[in-house]
Amino acid sequence: MPEHTPGTGTLTAEHPLAQRIATVLALAPDAGAVEFDGRWHTWGQLGAAAHRIAALTAEAGRPSIGVLLRNRPEHVAALLGVLLAGGCVVTINPSRGADRIRADIEDLALPILLGSPEDLAEYAVPRPGTTTVPITVIDASMAPAVAPPVSDAPERPGVAVRMLTSGTTGAPKRIDLTYDMLARSVIGAEPEHAPAPAAPRRGVAIVNSPLVHISGVFRVLQCVGEARPFALLPRFELTTWADAVRRHRPAAVSLVPTALRMVLQSELTRDDLAGVRVVTSGTAPLAPEDADAFYEKFGIPVLTSYAATEFGGGVAGWTLPDHERYRATKRGSVGRASLGARLRVVDDDGNPVGTDTAGLLEVIPGQLGPSGTWMRTTDIARIDADGFLWILGRADQAIIRGGFKVLPDDVRTALESHPAVRGATVVGLPDPRLGATPAALVELRTGAVADAAELREYLGNRLARYEIPTLLEIVETIPRTPSGKADLTAVREHLTRTGSAAGADHDR
């Protein structure tokens, strides 16, 4: 049976993750927990709001509850509240476009839907069997006008979050993240035996990853799990982020490659980032040249990692000792197995290959515990004798141009090495003669000048002729997912329209 939590008046699930959340929320009610838009919200305020959502979740029978998640304190409270009661959070991205959001909500047909009043009014078409609960400021009641239907049993027992993947290569799909997976990610390999903190931490973290992405959920739960206050940003925006870094002087910050390049190419100095001892970077490939340049400019090591929603977090990454010892010799690697993960590379038939041999990566995430089985990825990788992992590209994104294989990441990396380029992305477009050809969208640095002809000439000294994009367009902004990855479906649609409109016989 669920256990009553003293002083809360609500029920808390038995799982170590829920128990840890409840313990931390009650540690120091008057201490600051979340800073947002210049205002601190206390652990007590966060806890009271979370327990109201927990009570709603428990009364409804702990069903799957949809949340139109934005990076706001009251949405953090909603996430924590559902987990406190042992329910399942179904993340819904309110930035995917009105038609897709409405269709997603309609298809999910959830009994309870939480969101800001504006988002619910815009996207939640009234339907029988669904109760909508507006969540506004963190100290509001957040109670439904009509009691939700009671479910006889949890719809997805053991599942904490149903997370929508980024959908960079096609239609997004939902991944079930269990309580066990999240607990092992943010508490440790044996969360039931890990001691809870006795008091809140003094340092302040910065969370700018979106809550609709695994990185945002992980960062928030990590902060709560270790009782660390955090500054919550609606999104990564250079000026706001830099202001938070100057004020709070965090020892570690997390930047996706796009954000890292913005910081690198900005006017920020070492004084602005004083206090930061390490930058972690994941979610998308980071060019080693960018990591080197960041270290040279700011004196801060960049520790890359490899993770996926399906894994429930990271499975490989760099550590500071590894960076100090192997930075030069293992350049471009995403590090070694972490959090108890096991890694191997196999051929197309599933047979393990030798060290430093390219093949498909398979993973047993540590988050799955001792019962985990090998998960086949679509990443082409190699692992050296010291266990360092290199991601060479995606097998499902390889472009076969007249019999030659083109890996988009190789072309993207070459483009991003140009001094005028801030970011680039490369996809394959159908070609009636060659099968497919590479095409690229490119963002330029602020104030930089370059054209497609110059960039093609630059690539001619770095790539084989068949790797050079036949269509290259410079745009103000590359379409991206909430996690900062290029939205390859949107990129491909844009380039298809561009190529059709141009009607040109591109260089082949």
Q: Look at residue 470 and give its three-state secondary structure.
A: coil
Structure tokens at 87: 């329910």
Query: HSE-up of 318 (CA within 13 Å, CB side)?
Result: 25
- What integer pLDDT is reported at residue 129 of this predicted model? 83
**Per-residue CA distances from 476 to 167, 212, 473 (Å):** 22, 25, 10
Query: HSE-up of 173 (CA within 13 Å, CB side)?
Result: 7
Task: Look up residue 476 and give its DSSP letter.
Answer: S
Nearest-angstrom CA–CA distance, 51 and 167:
33
- What integer pLDDT is reported at residue 148 of this predicted model? 62
- What integer pLDDT is reported at residue 433 of this predicted model? 84
* pLDDT tens digits for range 275-299: 999 999 987 778 898 999 999 999 9
Task: Give the dihedral of Cα atoms 155, 159, 161, 164; nearest 10 deg.
Answer: -80
Structure tokens at 195: 């001691």
Domain limits, CATH 3.30.300.30, in the chain: 398-502
**CA-based angle 220:306:204, to the nearest 5?**
30
- pLDDT tens, per residue, the chain with 508 residues: 233 343 333 456 789 999 999 999 999 999 999 999 999 999 999 999 999 999 999 988 888 999 999 999 999 999 999 999 999 999 999 987 788 889 889 989 899 999 999 999 999 888 888 889 998 877 655 555 555 666 554 567 799 999 987 654 445 688 999 999 999 999 988 888 899 999 999 999 999 999 998 899 999 999 999 999 999 999 999 999 999 999 999 999 999 888 998 999 899 999 999 999 999 998 777 889 899 999 999 999 999 999 988 888 899 999 999 999 999 999 999 999 998 999 999 998 999 999 999 999 999 999 988 778 999 998 999 999 999 999 988 888 889 898 888 989 899 999 999 999 999 999 999 988 888 999 999 999 989 999 999 999 999 989 989 999 999 999 999 998 877 788 888 999 999 988 765 544 444 4
List the one residue out of 382, 415, 409 whose CA is nearest residue 397.
409
Edge-to-edge strands, sheet with 230-232: 39-42, 32-36, 230-232, 205-207
Structure tokens at 505: 């016989």
Residue 300: phi and psi, rounded to 5, are -115, 125
What topology is assigned to 398-502 in CATH? GMP Synthetase; Chain A, domain 3 (3.30.300)
Give strand ranges (E) for 226-341. Answer: 230-232, 252-254, 278-281, 302-308, 313-317, 336-337
**CA-based angle 199:201:203, to the nearest 5?**
165
Residue 59: phi and psi, rounded to 5, are -65, -30
- What integer pLDDT is reported at residue 188 of this predicted model? 87
CB 357 within 8 A of CB 382: yes
Single-letter amino acid code for the residue at 171: A
List the one residue out of 484, 464, 463 whose CA is nearest residue 415.
463
Q: DSSP letters of 88-124?
A: EEEEE-TTS-HHHHHHHHHHH--SEEEE-HHHHHHH-
Nearest-angstrom CA–CA distance, 442 and 463:
17
pTM as predicted: 0.81
Task: Look up residue 486 and give its DSSP letter.
Answer: B
Helix residue ranges, H only, 332-442? 408-416
CATH architecture of 17-193: 3-Layer(aba) Sandwich (3.40)
Query: HSE-up of 225 (CA within 13 Å, CB side)?
Result: 21
Task: Give the dihedral of Cα atoms 408, 410, 411, 413; nearest 10 deg.
Answer: 120
Domain limits, CATH 3.40.50.12780, in the chain: 17-193
Structure tokens at 261: 């390049």
